[in-house]
Structure 1
Amino acid sequence: MGIQLFIHVIVTFSWMLFNNSFTFVDFTIGFVIGIGTLWLFQRFFGYRVYLYKVWAVIKLLLLFIKELIQANIDVLKVVLSPKIHVNSGIIAVPTKLESPGEITLLAVLITLTPGTLSMDFSEDNQIIYVHALDISNREEMIKGFHDTFERAIMEVTR
């Protein structure tokens, strides 16, 4: 990925030098030409253009913000209700993530979302134990972690 970024920067600034113009328009044209060049030669790199990873990181951040807002609304409903009806508990969330960085990122995203807290990992790092404020439907909650955070993390790291 580093070589792709280097080539992209070289192509972009070469375009600006060849035109002897350092305007935003020429930068944009050079940037687009650089993307086209990387796209044409991506089979020689052996992996996809790095902008796919950048887009995956942006999607992960937007997903986290969405989940953060939704979790805050859910916790606010519990706090503001006259009688607190919560079914808190600990659930074991199996994960398909393999590297320690991926697993740690999942645990951090779970912890940063209000109403959930990553507590511990299994010995083989395949299960994360999560304390949740409301575990009315365990399977749905586990499926939610898999469909949101875990899938987005795999897009970024693989």
Structure 2
Amino acid sequence: MPIQVLLNILIAFLWMFLQEQWSALSFIGGYIVGFIILFMIRRFLPTSFYGKKLVAIISLLLVFIRELVLSSITVTKQILQPKIKVTPGIFTIKTELEGELEVTLLSLLICLTPGSVVVEIAPDSKTLFVHAMDIPESSESVIKSQKIFEKAIKEVTR
């Protein structure tokens, strides 16, 4: 996959240099042309076409942005209330992910969403201990977002 990305960037630069003016727009056009060329010759490449992984990465990024906005709104609502009614605590999450990369990525995505922090990962890498700002609301939302994150991470890494 990395060789395909480099080849696509090389095609984009060649396309840009063949234009009258060098600009970001001509580079983007060249990147699109290179993407199409690589898609057409995908049978002759030693690895699978990187377009699928690119779509999966963009999908994971969009899922993270959505969860970030939703959890930020929830945390902001709790902070702006005249009397804060939160019950912080630690709960566990079981995961189906395998490998250090997948588990680390999941824990980082959970930590980056406001209101929850991964405190520890069990030695078997199947259990995450998460500290949440408000257990009744946060635990359900973190578990729901964790399942969404898991699905998106599996698409990217497998």
Common fold by TM > 0.5: yes
Secondary structure in 2 matching 1:131? strand
**Deviations 1:107-130, CA, capped at 9 Å, x for gaps:** 112112111010111121011111
Tell me the equivalent position of 2:120.
Answer: 120
Q: Is the 8 A contact 1:93 1:142 kept in 2?
A: yes
1:76 is displaced (CA, Å) by 1.9
Tell me the equivalent position of 1:132.
Answer: 132
Report the aligned-residue RMSD: 2.8
* TM-score, normalising length: structure 2: 0.77
State the number of aligned residues: 156
Aligned sequence identity (%): 40
Q: Which runs of structure 1 show a deviation greater than 4 angstroms over 4 or more consecutive aligned residues?
A: 13-17, 19-29, 137-140
CA distance in 2 between partners of 1:69 and 1:117 (Å)? 16
Q: Is the 8 A contact 2:110 2:142 kept in 1?
A: no
Instruction: Say which is worse superposed, 126-135 or 75-84, in terms of deviation.
Output: 75-84
Unaligned runs of 5+ in 1: none
* TM-score, normalising length: structure 1: 0.77
Q: Is the 8 A contact 2:116 2:142 kept in 1?
A: no
CA distance in 2 between partners of 1:31 and 1:78 (Å)? 45
The answer to whether 1:144 aligns with 2:145 is yes
Unaligned runs of 5+ in 2: none
Write the letter of the residue equivalent to 1:45. L
1:139 is displaced (CA, Å) by 5.3
